[in-house]
Amino acid sequence: MSGRNAYHEAALTGNTGIINMICKAGGNPLGRDAAGDTPFSLVLNSDIRVIQAVLGNDTTIADSDGNTPIHIAVEKHASQKTLLQLLNMGYPASQRNGKGMTALNEAVSRNDKYQALALLEYGADPYVSTTTGENALTSVFKNKNTELLDAIVKYNSTKTDRQGDGILHYAARTADKETVEHLISLKLDKNARNISGETPSQMAARWGRPDIAEALK
């Protein structure tokens, strides 16, 4: 059996009148059928009016795995236009799912630059860590994706995590020298201190990376 319900079938029609009626009756836009499809995922390539009708007005919704419409749009490779429309509708850009992944974590791990750039433009937080301790910034260091790194710098050059660590503090711990030198060329503040009073250079020295510490002085 397909496991599809009336909401799935209504979504496939694209008839917003029928969709609105089922939505108001308590239909779940993120309920899965046997193939894992939801009413929402079935209309991802549809007109924004259909997408809005399927989702309803609750911007806090998530599926049983904690995935928001933004997570699902990234997972299903929605167009950048659709992702931007969802962000404009107010769905959160930095919420974790049940695996501890934000939509930005997902996009960066796949090197999906168009979705990642859209998320960063709308304020997605590159410092939010997954359950493994990785975040979008450290993933970009690992993937050597300069375009995404430059975008993170563009929107987060003065922002920090909860410990006050900024982009250069993270680079001090995990980035290679070429990446560190590139970040320095972007005029990031080498004298920025975290809440412990530590500069990026001091952090690199503490992590046993003397060449990085010297570059960050």
Q: Residues 165-189: pLDDT tens digits? A: 999 999 999 999 999 999 999 999 9
Res 146: pLDDT? 92
Res 188: pLDDT? 96
Cβ atoms of residues 70 and 97 within 8 Å? no
Res 125: pLDDT? 97
Res 111: pLDDT? 87
- CB atoms near residue 119 (< 10 Å): 30
Res 57: pLDDT? 92
- CB atoms near residue 39 (< 10 Å): 28
Cβ atoms of residues 54 and 9 within 8 Å? no
Res 70: pLDDT? 97
Cβ atoms of residues 90 and 53 within 8 Å? no
Q: Which residue stretches of the chain have pLDDT < 70? A: 1
Question: pTM of the full predicted structure?
Answer: 0.88
Cα(23)–Cα(29) distance, integer angstroms: 8
Res 2: pLDDT? 74
Cα(168)–Cα(75) distance, integer angstroms: 30
Q: How many CA atoms lie within 13 A of 104 on its CB side?
A: 30
